[in-house]
Chain A
Amino acid sequence: MNLKYLYVWESDKKKNLYNTLVKKITSKNLDDKVKVLSTKYIGITGKKSIIKIMPENITYTNFNETEDIDKIIDSHFINNKVLDEFIYITDNKFAKVKEKDKYYKQLRIVLRNSGYIDPENINDYLARDGYKALEKALFKMTPTDVIEEIKKSGLRGRGGAGFPTGKKWEITKNVQSDIKYVVCNADEGDPGAYMDRSVLEGDPYSVIEGMTICAYAVGAQYGYIYVRAEYPLAIKRLQMAIDKANEMGLLGNNILNTKFSFNIEIRLGAGAFVCGEETALIASIEGKRGMPRPRPPFPAISGLWGKPTVINNVETWANIPVIIIKGSQWFSSIGTETSKGTKVFALTGKIKYPGLIEVPMGTTIREIVFDIGGGILNNKKIKAVQTGGPSGGVIPEEYLDLPIDYESLQKIGSMMGSGGMIVMDEDDCMIDVAKFYLQFTVDESCGKCAPCRIGGKQLLEILKAISSGKAEEDDITRLKRISFAMKNASLCGLGQSAPNPVISTLKYFEHEYIEHIRDKKCKTGKCKDLITYTINQEKCIGCGACALRCPAGAISGEKRKPHNIDQLKCIKCGECYLTCKFNAINKL
């Protein structure tokens, strides 16, 4: 029964390694001891081929696929000796805890239960150390103890701003007030970000437990989870979780038969990205128009209905139970000097293995893209990585070895934000990227303050002009001046960070802007208005297929004679290019 499984992953499409191994296992009569299987994803990327032997969980790589195979099989399966020269161990130097994985760079704290438990069944959560943290806090710690632990852990807000969580709780605790609130910001609005959604759908109890511990620590009685209405499954599972926790006495009045009471209600968003900003979120819960208000005073002192309010992001809450159980020292051994713990990223874009990843702070972008994400799709060249969603900037190739933490990304003009990470390759146009993000922020701006309301629209119009060949020389100056005003004079984070995509693409890819403006060219072909389609007079045989297809009637010519495209009529749809079987259409 002691069957061993030999999993093979190789970049070779012809599966040569797999076939070799199958043959060798058979030839060495190991068929009843070893089963060879191929796998589409072995967890490690960036190598030519990897084999993993289970159940002992040994991974080998960097071996020669013809010469070293016998050595490996003989040593490992016949002599039962692990071959050190090919063992693959990763250095996970920013995770100095025993739970770190030998092979993988990820360390799943926030995602610890996601995918392992039925979120609609509280028993699953309880079995995986659920509510042990609340027990410890309620019965073995004082509120001050809890706050000290969170402070010592170094946890910083995961919503993007990175404010030290323990400090925020302490400020709220120290305000004298009969009523205090604890709020979870689950209005995840960044396009392409879905970390919070996964936590809410996969492990809603972790958020509830985190909020309950905070309520105990700061002296709050009421909690709100503000979820965007576009997450119906998350809302459903959250509500079920709240109801179940209430039923079991883990939430509500007299939790676990103590004097401590804490009630949570869900509040839905209504399709406004700006309501992810904490003061706009507060206005929304209060029933008012979701517009930010000036800070100070900060919500920790005067927030919801003027009462002290702790507002934290879903991911921050999910970290709390682990910090309480495993201790602040454990948590602070993960990450860098200034940024402790892990961060969940939604790795998307032109990457081989998109998905959610959770890495210790300090992991570099290169590691994420190549060692975790599997590198660029179709083996194209990487151009930049965009982080932080519409508030962030692009990180060009020369900065890929930057460790990820709050400060280092801001220094080069981007930010970690809530965790969106979009990988871009040589086919992505930076003006198109900036335009996409500006379209979003202009749409979502609340309109209260002039710099964001008018400045954002101006930026967008200029970017549209640039991408359609109608820009002027002065437009780069305009972009810079407007971005400067927006960054410094906008009322809230949305407006202050809306110009970041423009500023950072201008900083690192100014040549692309100049090409678009001066030469009216878009090298990637993304800006359709800048593409010119012409017919190669040598290659064209005059079949007329393109002319038939053209929706604008822009192609003309006699039968069997080379045709011509009238540029004034051409709408750049590209149909002719797709139709021509003779490669006679030039796309410039």
Chain B
Amino acid sequence: MNKLNEKIKLKINNKVIEVEKGITVLEAAKYAQIKIPTLCKHEDLHPTGACGICVVKVEGMKKLVRACTTPAENGMSITTHDAELHEVRKNVIELILSRHPNECLTCLRNGSCELQKFAEEFGIREKFFKPMVLEKPKDLSTRAIVVDSKKCIGCGRCVEVCQNIQQVWALEFINRGFEMRIAPAGDILLADSPCIKCGQCSAHCPVGALIEYEETDKVWGALRNNDLYPVAQIAPAVRVAFGESFDLPPGTITTKKIYALLKSIGFKAVFDTNFGADLTIMEEGTEFYERYNNNPEKLPLITSCCPSWVDYLEKYYPDLIENFSTAKSPHQMVGVLSKTYFAEKNKIDPAKIFMVSIMPCTAKKYEISRTDEMFASGYQDVDVSITTRELVRIANSGGIDFVNLPEEECDEILGKYTGAGTIFGVTGGVMEAAIRTAYYLFTKEKLKEIELNEIRGLKGIKTGVIKLNGKEIKVAVAHGVGNIKEVLDQVREAKIKKQKQPYDFIEVMACYGGCIAGGGQPYQVSNKLRTQRTEGIYKDDRQQPIRYSFENPMIKKLYEEYLEKPLSVKSHKLLHTKYKARPIYYK
């Protein structure tokens, strides 16, 4: 413990500062108000030292060292900026640019690209080195994430995320030297690899080499087609991050402005995925109640609203498929209901309804046609799923002054939500919402302390015990696929050895931090940002008049008028899905 508090003194650009021992030179420089330029370093990830731009001079050392990996030592004297260092950095940027295509104007990262920023900062005005651009077509195979290798600068962030944090190992460095590229092992298509389409790679990529599969054109096409009835729904995580792209502080709740935005660009109805979240809780909570009392051998019940997570389990743990909740994810539920319940009630031809879901997630693009059950309405339940980033682009090209939009309401029929619905966006939220309802199902009483702190927060695996009716429900919450393994291995072992399961109910989110840090959210994710967005979600929960899913009046109405009750035949047909084992590598 002493080591953490130990202070050291060092000089940076002749300024003496005192910092904690154990931090890097890069971090120490911040205390001297100096920003050492970095390209491959990302706040979320361990530094790899790949780009060479953060080099600094340390007195007494012959060679330049990388600020991102060198630990700060007592008595160091460091120069971060001088003519020589500038020359080194500029030449490295120019070298990177020589292997990068000149496509800024037509690139999706135009304006948000980190390399572009450097070219500007270093005043690059000509390409002095011979261009040596890789000729390779884009890999669009997953229809969720696009791999555009010719733009890759080899920073290795995506490999770090995919291998060490997600531990999916879909991306790897192949070939060596100048021919080095990032691709799945064996240079196969991404869709044939273990990729679970979580999009964390695209969220960390500094340039346009890994990017979401853009579908804004489809949305505009629907909006401008007079024959269609375009409807939209937004995910919980979108509302606290969308504002960041308009310079609002992270965590600002912009729900009603987004409704207004969607309405003004032409959506005829605006729903809210949180309604679907409440509905999911009704179905899944009841499912848990049923299983606990009647089929305890099928416990633990594992949540299934995260499509990357579903893909992961189908590939790596197919033996645990029977533990999945059969409930669909919230946006799929809203999707199917929009083309059945909503269409019937409002006498709209469901064939004309065009459902767009706006998600913090790239995997949803894959989910919407994953199985036949995603067509339960008779049509594709969700026609297009776009990411938060794509909605930002739509807003920007739709001529909207977002920040000054007056707030509006959504269409409550599939849009009214409780606090339990909105917390779906954060890790632990689905579990908390489920417990709030399950408690009522078991005890017929409302849970008093509804903010379950032991399953909140950024710890990779969180566990808790809920006491009700003399029973103890053991729950576990895991986020970031790399953390899920540990929990699943315990479940698998207990199953094989026919021992008592360590948990009864498990929530899993593939993205570390939960959906608020999803693969489709605005760039620059970090733990600070995760915390800020999470705070926004919990604030949204607290300011809701109703915080229990079963008290949602529109949900009650839905069951009364249409679905009868949770897990009814109609509910099963529309709101539940099936799973099957899939190969980790195709062919």
A residues at B contact (CB < 8 Å): 272, 274, 289, 291, 293-294, 296, 442-451, 453-458, 461-462, 474, 478, 481-482, 484-485, 488-491, 496
Q: Which residues of B contact A446 (CB under 8 A)?
A: 176-177, 180
Q: How far is the CA of A481 from the CA of B128 in the complex (A)?
A: 10
Given contacts A442-B177, A447-B173, A450-B92, A478 and B129 within 8 Å (CB-CB) = yes
Whether B176 and A454, one on each chain, are in contact in the complex, defined by CB atoms closer than 8 angstroms, is no
Q: Mark B196-230, 1 if CB is under 8 A from A, else 0.
A: 00000000000000000000000000000000000
**Residue among A272, A289, A447, A461 making CB contact with B130, cutoff 8 Å:** A461
Q: Which residues of A contact B129 (CB under 8 A)?
A: 458, 478, 482
- Least CB distance from B88 to A in Å reads 5
Q: Which residues of A contact B51 (CB under 8 A)?
A: 449-450
Whether A449 and B64, one on each chain, are in contact in the complex, defined by CB atoms closer than 8 angstroms, is no
Whether A488 and B70, one on each chain, are in contact in the complex, defined by CB atoms closer than 8 angstroms, is no
Whether B178 and A457, one on each chain, are in contact in the complex, defined by CB atoms closer than 8 angstroms, is yes
Q: Which residues of B contact A490 (CB under 8 A)?
A: 52
Whether A454 and B96, one on each chain, are in contact in the complex, defined by CB atoms closer than 8 angstroms, is yes
Binds A, one of B42-50, B238-246, B388-396, B543-551: B42-50
Q: Which residues of A contact B132 (CB under 8 A)?
A: 454, 457-458, 461
**Residue among B49, B92, B96, B176 making CB contact with A445, cutoff 8 Å:** B176
- Least CB distance from A488 to B in Å reads 5
Q: Which residues of B contact A442 (CB under 8 A)?
A: 177-178
Whether B48 and A293, one on each chain, are in contact in the complex, defined by CB atoms closer than 8 angstroms, is yes
- Least CB distance from B182 to A in Å reads 10
**Residue among A289, A296, A450, A496 making CB contact with B50, cutoff 8 Å:** A450
Q: How far is the CA of A454 from the CA of B91 in the complex (A)?
A: 11
B165 at the interface (CB under 8 A from A): no
B69 at the interface (CB under 8 A from A): yes
Q: Which residues of B contact A274 (CB under 8 A)?
A: 176
Q: Which residues of B contact A485 (CB under 8 A)?
A: 52, 87-88, 91-92, 95
**Residue among B84, B89, B172, B178 making CB contact with A447, cutoff 8 Å:** B178
- Least CB distance from A443 to B in Å reads 6
Most chain A CB inside 10 Å of its own CB: which residue of B130, B132, B172: B130
**Residue among B52, B69, B84, B180 making CB contact with A451, cutoff 8 Å:** B52
Q: How far is the CA of A450 from the CA of B38 in the complex (A)?
A: 13
Whether A489 and B64, one on each chain, are in contact in the complex, defined by CB atoms closer than 8 angstroms, is yes
Q: Which residues of B contact A455 (CB under 8 A)?
A: 95
Interface residues of B in 55-73 (CB under 8 A from A): 55, 63-64, 66, 68-71
Knowing that A453-B177, A485-B52 are A-B contacts, what are 5 other residue pairs whose CB atoms are under 8 Å apart, sorted by A's residue number? A454-B178, A458-B95, A481-B91, A482-B95, A489-B52
Q: How far is the CA of A456 from the CA of B91 in the complex (A)?
A: 13
Q: How far is the CA of A296 from the CA of B58 in the complex (A)?
A: 13
Please give me the residue from chain A that is nearest to B71 by CB atom: A296
Q: Which residues of B contact A478 (CB under 8 A)?
A: 128-129
15 contacts across the A-B interface (CB closer than 8 A): A293-B49, A294-B47, A445-B177, A446-B177, A446-B180, A447-B173, A447-B180, A449-B49, A450-B51, A450-B95, A454-B98, A456-B178, A457-B132, A482-B91, A485-B52
Q: How far is the CA of A562 from the CA of B96 in the complex (A)?
A: 54
Please give me the residue from chain B that is nearest to A477 by CB atom: B128
Most chain B CB inside 10 Å of its own CB: which residue of A274, A443, A453, A484: A453
Q: How far is the CA of A458 from the CA of B129 in the complex (A)?
A: 8
Question: Is chain A's interface secondary structure helix, strand, loop, or mixed overall?
Answer: helix
Please give me the residue from chain A that is nearest to B88 by CB atom: A488
Q: Which residues of A contact B154 (CB under 8 A)?
A: 447-450, 453
Whether B69 and A294, one on each chain, are in contact in the complex, defined by CB atoms closer than 8 angstroms, is yes
- Least CB distance from A251 to B in Å reads 35
Q: How far is the CA of A453 from the CA of B154 in the complex (A)?
A: 9
- Least CB distance from B153 to A in Å reads 7
Please give me the residue from chain A that is nearest to B85 by CB atom: A488
Whether B176 and A484, one on each chain, are in contact in the complex, defined by CB atoms closer than 8 angstroms, is no
Whether A447 and B91, one on each chain, are in contact in the complex, defined by CB atoms closer than 8 angstroms, is no
- Least CB distance from A373 to B in Å reads 32
Q: Which residues of B contact A461 (CB under 8 A)?
A: 130, 132
- Least CB distance from A150 to B in Å reads 24
Q: Which residues of A contact B6 (CB under 8 A)?
A: none
Most chain B CB inside 10 Å of its own CB: which residue of A274, A454, A485: A454
Given contacts A450-B153, A454-B99, A491 and B180 within 8 Å (CB-CB) = no
**Residue among A296, A447, A488 making CB contact with B177, cutoff 8 Å:** A447
Q: How far is the CA of A345 from the CA of B550 in the complex (A)?
A: 83
Whether B87 and A489, one on each chain, are in contact in the complex, defined by CB atoms closer than 8 angstroms, is no
Most chain A CB inside 10 Å of its own CB: which residue of B50, B91, B128: B91
Q: How far is the CA of A291 from the CA of B156 in the complex (A)?
A: 12
Q: How far is the CA of A496 from the CA of B88 in the complex (A)?
A: 13
Whether A449 and B50, one on each chain, are in contact in the complex, defined by CB atoms closer than 8 angstroms, is yes
**Residue among B64, B71, B128, B153 making CB contact with A488, cutoff 8 Å:** B64
Q: How far is the CA of A221 from the CA of B484 in the complex (A)?
A: 35
Please give me the residue from chain B that is nearest to A491 by CB atom: B49
Q: How far is the CA of A482 from the CA of B99 in the complex (A)?
A: 14
Whether B52 and A450, one on each chain, are in contact in the complex, defined by CB atoms closer than 8 angstroms, is yes
Q: How far is the CA of A175 from the CA of B153 in the complex (A)?
A: 38
Whether A296 and B91, one on each chain, are in contact in the complex, defined by CB atoms closer than 8 angstroms, is no
**Residue among B48, B53, B70 making CB contact with A448, cutoff 8 Å:** B48
